Amino acid sequence: MSLQDLAAQITEGLGDDDSGVNKKVKLDFGDDGCILIDLTSAPHSVSTEDGESDVTLKIALEDYTKMLAGELDGQMAFMTGKLKMEGDMGAAMAFGQYMQSRA
């Protein structure tokens, strides 16, 4: 899955309602690029441009697509070092819960 396809999938999954998360989340895929998800206003925005965020989740693009497909558990990815976090852990948890509720 390309970065643009993934950004489009995330955009579609977010919907137009207010998530209540009120944070910016960056998915950093290393050399494959990043996706910045702005949950501070409704409708939310998703961009493949780099920018400031409250929390950055670092993960290989392949591993993230496995998480989306249910083939890799997020907690297991974190515990095994496949998923790393920098910044506000509460924002990461709120983002994860919001995305699960949208699935």
Could you tell me which residue, 98 or 31, shows the higher pLDDT? 31
Residue 43 lies inside a defined structural domain of this protein: yes
**pLDDT tens readout for residues 30-70:** 999 999 999 998 788 999 999 999 999 999 999 999 988 88
Phi-psi region of 20 (alpha: psi -120 to 50; beta: other; left: phi over 0): left
Could you tell me which residue, 26 or 101, shows the higher pLDDT? 26
Residue 61 lies inside a defined structural domain of this protein: yes
Question: How many structural domains is the chain composed of?
Answer: 1
Residue of 40, 18, 46 lying closest to 88 (CA atoms) = 40
Q: How far, in Å, CA of 101 to CA of 103, rounded?
A: 6
Q: Taking the model in full, what pTM does it have? A: 0.90
Residue 102 lies inside a defined structural domain of this protein: no
The CATH number covering residue 44 comes to 3.30.1050.10
**What per-residue confidence (pLDDT) applies to 8?**
92
Crossing angle of helices 3-14 and 89-102, in 10° steps, is 80
Residue 89 lies inside a defined structural domain of this protein: yes
**What per-residue confidence (pLDDT) applies to 103?**
66
Residue 67 lies inside a defined structural domain of this protein: yes
User: Can you give the residue range of the structural domain that contains 60?
Assistant: 3-96
In angstroms, what is the C-alpha Rg of the chain? 12
